[in-house]
Amino acid sequence: MFELQDAFARKFQYLRLSVTDVCNFKCNYCLPDGYRPDGRKSFLTLDEIRRLTRTFAAMGTSKVRITGGEPSLRKDFTDIIETVAATPGIQKVAMTTNGYRMAKQAADWRRAGLTAINVSVDSLDPRMFHQITGQNRFHEVMAGIDAAFDAGFEQVKVNAVLMRGLNDGDLGRFLEWIKDNPIQLRFIELMQTGEMDDLFNRHHVRGALIKEQLLQQGWQQKLRAHNDGPAEVFWHPDYRGEIGLIMPYAKDFCASCNRLRVSSLGKLHLCLFGDYGVDLRDLLAEDGQQAALQLRLREALADKKATHFLHQGHTGMTPHLASIGG
């Protein structure tokens, strides 16, 4: 019996694990004022990460995505990769990064067991990249993508939050970039977070419109694997790269949900758009607590809702995207 299963028969093979909420970028849709440190916080230790990953794997999880904040800012990040990758049952270890350290460390991450990289590149115009992220590091990030390919990654996924009036004019440039490069370009629909309603109202682009354009241009949708993320992925015979669309406002977006989140402070979040987290940390102190941790996870899943409530304007935890690995 699959143990990580909710009341709607959804199975959860995919864990998004935040290891820090520290970030050195100031993206206007996430941390527009930059990261504000809280000296009281203590992020999950390597041993706690090992126990957590082992428990999820024992309950059917096969893929772990390590997120932040910016996960590579942790000094023991390579050790974290190695620990997760060494867990029996874990087949895929991915990360989401702003690319800040990729050029120097992609090869080390690959050797440690990392199997996939997602890097945020919100514009191919260095000036717009700077405007959106608050960092003038476009060329460093692009060098990091090259380093990832040199290290042996067959594909790099590139995340871009598409925003009207800012980077929506980059679509043609993005398509030209992936024509001869094995990049999966993932357009993420801007989400309403409650704290940045004005940004949403000014810059939101409906993902459904992009999907319609792609289908008209001959792009074809791929079937999802059981532990894939939420993106609808499209391919075209004339392109080496692919396009993914993450559209949280799409009908039935939640029907295929297969992922759970654990924050850098050890709280389980059943949904990115939920209101609260279930504390797990008291059951990560010793190796002998796995059975109790499994029980708490099963009990928590009984409360998972069928869908989010974004359409009703309920944004849940999204104002805290940086701390829960949004």
Binding residue per annotation — 240?
no
The mean pLDDT of 152-169, rounded to a whole number, is 89
Is 80 exceeded by the pLDDT of residue 30? yes
**What is the average pLDDT across 178-196?**
84
Contact at 8 Å (CB) between 16 and 67?
yes
Is 264 annotated to bind a ligand? Reply is no
Q: Cα separation of 235 and 177, whole Å?
A: 14
Listed as own residue / partner, the contacts of 283-292 with beta carbons closer than 8 Å and 24 or more positions apart are 284/44, 284/47, 284/48, 284/51, 284/52, 285/48, 287/51, 289/51, 290/51, 290/54, 290/55, 290/58
Lowest-pLDDT choice from 56-70, 78-92, 223-237: 223-237
Which pLDDT value is given to residue 254? 66
Q: How much is the pLDDT for 7?
A: 84
167 and 29 in contact (C-beta within 8 Å)? no
Q: Is 239 annotated as a binding residue?
A: no
194 pLDDT band, cuts 50/70/90, is low
**CA nearest to 112, candidates 83, 153, 149:** 83
Q: What's the average model confidence in pLDDT over 75-98?
A: 98
Could you write out the three-class secondary structure of the chain?
Answer: CCCCECCCCCECCEEEEECCCCCCCCCCCCCCCCCCCCCCCCCCCHHHHHHHHHHHHHCCCCEEEEECCCHHHCCCHHHHHHHHHCCCCCCEEEEEECCCCHHHHHHHHHHHCCCEEEEECCCCCHHHHHHHHCCCCHHHHHHHHHHHHHCCCCCEEEEEEEECCCCHHHHHHHHHHHCCCCEEEEEEECCCCCCCHHHHHHHECCHHHHHHHHHHCCCEECCCCCCCCCCEEEECCCCCCEEEEECCCCCCCCCCCCEEEECCCCEEECCCCCCCCEECHHHCCCHHHHHHHHHHHHHHHCCCCCCCCHHHCCCCCHHHHHHHCC
How much is the average pLDDT of 22-42? 85
Q: Is 271 annotated as a binding residue?
A: yes
Cα angle value 101/107/108 (rounded, 5°): 80
Residue 120 labelled as part of a binding site: yes
29 among the known binding-site residues?
Answer: yes
Q: What is the mean pLDDT of residues 54-69?
A: 96
Q: Which amino acid is at 91?
A: Q
Q: pTM of whole model > 0.75?
A: yes
Between CA 3 and CA 113 the distance in angstroms is 26
Q: In this predicted model, what pLDDT tens digit does every residue of 261-320 receive, in sequence order?
A: 999 999 999 887 666 789 999 999 999 999 999 999 999 988 887 665 554 444 445 444
Residue 324 has pLDDT above 50, yes or no: no
Please state which of the ranges 137-141, 188-192, 273-277 shows the lowest mean pLDDT.
273-277
Write out the two tokens for 131: 């405007």
**Within a 10 A sphere around the Cβ of 304, how many other Cβ atoms?**
18
How far is the C-alpha of 102 from the C-alpha of 107, rounded, in Å?
9
Is 16 labelled as part of a ligand binding site?
Answer: yes
Mean local confidence (pLDDT), 71-81 = 97
pLDDT at 62: 96
Question: CA-CA distance, 64 to 61, in Å (whole number)?
Answer: 8
Known binder of ligand: residue 281? Answer: no
| Rounded average pLDDT over 166-178 | 87
- Rounded Cα distance between 233 and 246, Å, is 9
Residue-level pLDDT at 312: 46
Q: Is 157 annotated as a binding residue?
A: yes
The annotation status of 259 as a binding-site residue, yes or no, is: yes
Topology at the third CATH level for domain 14-312: TIM Barrel (3.20.20)
Whether the CB-CB separation of 220 and 236 falls below 8 Å is answered with yes
Q: Does 65 count as an annotated binding residue? A: yes
Instruction: Inform me whether the pLDDT recorded for 45 exceeds 50.
Output: yes
pLDDT at position 320, please? 47
Percent of the chain with pLDDT over 70: 88
Write down the mean pLDDT value for the chain. Answer: 88
Task: Tell me the Cα Rg of the chain.
Answer: 19
- The residue assigned the tokens 């800040």 is 100
217: pLDDT strictly greater than 50: yes
